Amino acid sequence: MSSTVFISSFHILISRNILASGVPSRLAARGFRVVILAPDFKASYFEAHFGGPNVVIEGVSANASSRSLLGLVFKRLAQVMLPTTTARIKTTAKLMLERKYLYFFGFILPARLLGCSGAGRRLVRRLDQKLSPRHTFFASLIARERPVAVVSTDVNNENDVALLQEARRAGVTTLGVVRSWDNLTNFFMRVAPDGLAVANDRMADEAVRYHGVPRERIRVVGIPHYDRYLKGPTKPRAEFLREIGADPGKPLILYVPVADSRMAKNDVDAYVVGLLSRLDATILVRFPPTAAVSLDLSAFGGRVIADRPGHVFRMRQDAEIRPEDDQRLVNALAHANVVVSGPGTMNIDAALFDRPLVLVNCYPTPRSFWGTIREYRYDHIQPILASGGARIVTSADELRAAIRTYLHDPRQDAPGRARIREEQCGRLDGASTERVTDFIARSVVE
């Protein structure tokens, strides 16, 4: 009988990062039976896209653990107690912007003090494992299927936390994958799994420093979906531009909105698109699959084109990135003359394709720090800002000048973009998917 492995997929990027990269099918080819755990209302979609021989889908009612008081308390502790600049700024915003005085002084400050030491963080983790409410569905599923390993593909997701806690109670091997570059300085890892996969050495250091994971339990694997990106565009430039309604004779500027969640009031996206629309270029606005963006493109004319990726389920926040969405992004990145973005992962994507990168930090009106894009002060973005591979602009004139410079000479700042690739991407050899697969398979054997 095949050994069963559980793989979670509760965050919308996991289907792109892990499943579409082929990890489940590769495990199945090695003789494992793979059970993908996904939100129940997405089960048929996952069946159609990722089911196959020895790969089955199990629908789960999501977010049950935080519906209890204790579950919510431990979730909130994980969000505020890390001793990082990121956590300090995010928690102080609760006071400065939301005026949550009782929450700040009665909960956040004590949590910060508790999280200042490794001993305090370890205590919270032990109490979390002991006191958090049981997830009866995961417990019964583990008892029924008897997996040899449970793989959390997003160790900070509350559903993944509940899954890992139940696996630990059942004595099942726990494995984790850190989903994104900011996760380890953003949230405290509530369960330290038996094995942890990260993208690069910096994240490995953060897992040791902030989360107490022994270095020997960490595997640097790279970024699996970049295995596909390394194959390059699927369409020639002229064909792709005609397909999206752009003039192949004009430069293409890819703009990735900052999104509403990154500032108190999002008037930046409309302001920047307005500036870009006056250039003699086509502006392709790639909206985030799930995040809200206060941006109406109808006023900007035919030079501004919208790309709205994602298969939407009940609401936009539930969307999944389809293969065609990801393929369109690859073509856009490969054929863009300049990428303009906020402080998101598009920085790394642009560097991967060696695209000139402009980071917007300019505003239509003056404001205090708390009304700006605060994420530029977060821990994870500092290596990008220090790399020399991106130009951060703080005014309309600086934005126009940076774009003119890059259109004239796209090799400007290329060494800095190479540094971003080296620091952020791990090994770019097309074998990251195989390393993740090997990490899971070997952890079970060992």
Rounded to an integer, the average pLDDT of 262-276 is 95
The pLDDT, as a whole number, for residue 290 is 86
The pLDDT, as a whole number, for residue 338 is 98
The pLDDT, as a whole number, for residue 314 is 80
Q: b/e per residue, 8-19, with b = 16+ CB within 10 A? A: bbbbbbbbbbbb
Sheet holding 357-360, edge to edge: 304-307, 282-286, 252-255, 338-341, 357-360, 391-393
The pLDDT, as a whole number, for residue 66 is 64
The pLDDT, as a whole number, for residue 383 is 97
The pLDDT, as a whole number, for residue 182 is 96
Contact between residue 211 and residue 186 where contact means Cβ atoms under 8 Å apart: no
Rounded to an integer, the average pLDDT of 216-222 is 98
The pLDDT, as a whole number, for residue 3 is 94
Name the 3-class secondary structure at 6: strand
Residue 333 tokens read as 């990145």
Q: DSSP states of 119-161 as a string?
A: HHHHHHHHHHHHHSPP-HHHHHHHHHH--SEEEESSTTSHHHH
Contact between residue 107 and residue 73 where contact means Cβ atoms under 8 Å apart: no
Q: DSSP states of 207-223 as a string?
A: HHHHH---GGGEEE---
69-80 and 158-169 helices, crossing angle to 10° = 110
Reference 63, options 73, 71, 54; nearest CA is 71
Share of the chain above pLDDT 90, in %: 89
The pLDDT, as a whole number, for residue 1 is 54
pTM exceeds 0.85: yes
Q: Which residues contact 30 (CB under 8 A, 6 or more apart)?
A: 437, 441
How distant, in Å, are the alpha carbons of 64, 82, 152, 162, 216 from that of 190?
Answer: 16, 11, 12, 10, 19
Name the 3-class secondary structure at 252: strand
Contact between residue 318 and residue 220 where contact means Cβ atoms under 8 Å apart: no
CA–CA separation, 207 and 185 (whole Å): 9
Distance of CA 443 to the CA centre of its chain: 24
CA–CA separation, 413 and 402 (whole Å): 11
Share of the chain above pLDDT 70, in %: 99
Half-sphere exposure of 165 (CA within 13 A, CB side): 25
The pLDDT, as a whole number, for residue 446 is 61
Instruction: Give Rg (Cα) of the chain.
Output: 22
69-80 and 118-131 helices, crossing angle to 10° = 160
Pairing label, strands 338-341, 282-286: unpaired
pLDDT tens string 66-96: 678 888 999 999 999 999 999 999 999 989 9
Residue 415 tokens read as 């060494």
